[in-house]
Structure 1
Amino acid sequence: MKGPLFYAKILLFGEYGIIKDSKGLAIPFNAYRGALKSSKDLEGAAKDSNANLERFYNHLSQLNSDKVSFNLEAFKNDIDNGMYFDSSIPQGYGVGSSGALVASIYDKYATDKITVLENLTREKLLKLKEIFSLMESFFHGKSSGLDPLNSYLSLPILINSKENIEPAGIPSQKEGKGAVFLLDSEQIGETEPMVNIFMNKMKNEGFRKMISEEFATHTDACIEDFLSGNVSSLFGNVKKLSKVVLKNFKPMIPVAFHKIWAQGISTNDYYLKLCGSGGGGYILGFTEDYQKAQESLKDYKLELVYRF
């Protein structure tokens, strides 16, 4: 048995904001992927994954929802026969490792599933997102459902609000100097504690004001610039966003990166932002000159995502 491939995702813009109904833009990232496989002799990561699928099966069998049902018998049977999720997507890195797994299980075991080939109306997209949110809550305690949706559809997705999502056309890549890149913090980040910190901060009126007046405003401007290909305006807005995040989201930025985050803003060689919930994993970088950013960040591992 070998299932279809499901890819990692990158939330270019909108981390935390989408919890509070501002815009977001997520794109598939094909450098990392996963698929369901099975083996008679499970060991190491495959054995761990098989045990994790058993726990996920228990979660799905207790889901009391009229939105989705699964062929649980087939799922359990495949687990007992050595099924595991073979994935190159790093866990705790903010690029959707659990999302790809959720998408693969929905694809294989959901009865009456919404397929990628049908006309994806807004209602169908919202229904899928809701189903994936229920499924993925097993991994994070609370999930928007966006990571699995992105992985399942393998399309860029524009989140206008909780009730308004649509596939997005992003400008094709150019062979320019500019780039979006991933910076490896070489630390694992856990989603749930970071989201809890954010939710606690949201009890503060000043923080809420900053989210709506600064964070969401800059995020929306970045998304508009990116989708319309307005690169010169984009970098100005990404810089503003990077400053706001450094000032207000310090607990989500690994301490070792506070200095290089500020350095990017002062030199304009690159601008950093959170990739996912933060706390470790990848940090997302934007630069008008990728070569210059590579020189400035020569002590770190960078990975190219998109060229301008």
Structure 2
Amino acid sequence: MSNSPLYYAKILLFGEYGIISNSNALSIPFSSFYGSFGFITKGAETPEQIESNRHLAEYAKYLQTLEINDEFFTKFDFERLNRHIIEGLYFNSSIPQGFGVGSSGALVAAVYDTYAINKIDPDTTLSQENLPLLKKQLAIMESYFHGKSSGMDPLICYLKIPVLLSSSNNLNPIQLPESGNSSAAIFLINSGVPGKTQSMVSIFMEKMKNEGFRRLLKNQFIKYNDACIDAFLKGEIKVFFKNLKKLSSWVLTHFTPMIPENLVELWEKGLATNEYYLKLCGSGGGGFVLGFAPDYEKAYKTLSPYNPQIIFRL
């Protein structure tokens, strides 16, 4: 598909799990990873292209069952989509699967953008009023991959701009603070193993059956999460890192199964030295984790074996 648009990965800076429980969430596009549609060249196909084409065929069948059963759901040009699949359509993506950076979200965004009829267009028809509708449509589409979706991942991949979701369920496209020249930085660390979103969410939902845990989540986790977002957007670096430490420590205590085993010691060391703090990037269990360092160059001495990747300078 010539000149096919790129659909970037996303990073949920804040809001993992809390998003299910009415916390604020802040998600940003991440252009280091991306995907786009292409067509298989006969005689030069790769196993990955063939597998992607097969998955698209299965996904198209799923979307057709949704359209039949859901009056709310957006309509698709299935004649064109199915013809393209027969012709060798595949999704060429550098976004690692199961790493918490929106591999399924980018694919959903691409299908919606290319094949939805009367789509909500970011450049022409998007408004504050129909943004929740767009998020809901994309959530329904992504439910194929995870069983349940908030719609935030494909929304960021589709809009390609940062979005703040407030606890009152208001969606607001926002400007991030200017990337500064300070020594502080936000970075990614690769655990080296994919996470399993559904099993991690199942663990969380089981915990949520406990009233004591629900109270802790509301009075501590969500409080720290929302304070981090507020301080980050205001550029209040000291307040930001103060709440980050509380958030990182809380996750270590209460979300232990979600932290990749090979990064637990690194997580603990950050809290002990205050050189950096780690938090989940998505549902956890593997994939990437997010890191925040008040002095990145100083923290790098400890972090260098893990090949951190800077995503934002504060």
Question: 1:11 is matched by which residue type in structure 2?
Answer: L
- TM superposition shift of 1:242: 0.2
The correspondence of residues 159-178 of structure 1 with structure 2, limited to 5 A, is 159-161=165-167, 163-178=169-184
Do the aligned residues in 2 keep the contact of 1:25 with 1:157 (CA within 8 Å)?
yes
Q: Cα deviation per residue 1:171-193 (whole Å; 9 max; x = unaligned)?
A: 12112211000001001101111
Question: 1:44 is matched by which residue type in structure 2?
Answer: P
Could you say which residue in structure 1 is the equivalent of 2:27? Answer: 26
Instruction: Give SS of 1:10's match.
Output: strand
Which is further off, 180-189 or 112-121?
112-121
- TM superposition shift of 1:163: 2.9
The correspondence of residues 176-195 of structure 1 with structure 2, limited to 5 A, is 176-195=182-201
- TM superposition shift of 1:48: 1.1
The count of residues paired between Structure 1 and Structure 2 equals 308
Could you say which residue in structure 2 is the equivalent of 1:120? Answer: 126
Question: 1:26 is matched by which residue type in structure 2?
Answer: S
Question: 2:98 is matched by which residue type in structure 1?
Answer: G
1:47 is the counterpart of 2:47: no
Could you say which residue in structure 2 is the equivalent of 1:96? Answer: 102
1:76 and 1:162 mapped to 2: Cα distance? 39
Question: 1:299 is matched by which residue type in structure 2?
Answer: P
Q: Cα deviation per residue 1:109-165 (whole Å; 9 max; x = unaligned)?
A: 000000011353332110011001100000111110100000100110001036311
Could you say which residue in structure 1 is the equivalent of 2:209? Answer: 203
1:266 and 1:61 mapped to 2: Cα distance? 52
Do the aligned residues in 2 keep the contact of 1:17 with 1:215 (CA within 8 Å)?
yes
Could you say which residue in structure 1 is the equivalent of 2:6? Answer: 5
Instruction: Give SS of 1:277's match.
Output: coil
Q: Which runs of 5+ in 2 are unaligned?
A: none
Q: Which runs of 5+ in 1 are unaligned?
A: none
Do the aligned residues in 2 keep the contact of 1:8 with 1:96 (CA within 8 Å)?
yes
- TM superposition shift of 1:289: 1.1
1:227 and 1:50 mapped to 2: Cα distance? 41
1:176 and 1:164 mapped to 2: Cα distance? 32
Do the aligned residues in 2 keep the contact of 1:275 with 1:282 (CA within 8 Å)?
yes
Question: 1:259 is matched by which residue type in structure 2?
Answer: E
- Structure 1 moving runs of 4+ over 3 Å: none
Shift in alpha-carbon separation, 1:119–1:225, aligned structure 2, 3 A: farther
Identity, in percent, stands at 48
- TM superposition shift of 1:273: 0.1
Choose the corresponding residue for 1:252, options 255, 258, 268. Answer: 258
2:105 and 2:186 mapped to 1: Cα distance? 22
Do the aligned residues in 2 keep the contact of 1:70 with 1:111 (CA within 8 Å)?
yes
Do the aligned residues in 2 keep the contact of 1:99 with 1:136 (CA within 8 Å)?
yes
Which is further off, 114-123 or 75-84?
114-123
TM value normalised by structure 1: 0.98
Do the aligned residues in 2 keep the contact of 1:194 with 1:277 (CA within 8 Å)?
yes
Do the aligned residues in 2 keep the contact of 1:18 with 1:162 (CA within 8 Å)?
no
- TM superposition shift of 1:255: 1.6
2:7 and 2:177 mapped to 1: Cα distance? 22
Choose the corresponding residue for 2:156, options 150, 156, 159. Answer: 150
Could you say which residue in structure 2 is the equivalent of 1:275? Answer: 281
- TM superposition shift of 1:291: 1.2
Question: 2:308 is matched by which residue type in structure 1?
Answer: L
1:169 and 1:79 mapped to 2: Cα distance? 37
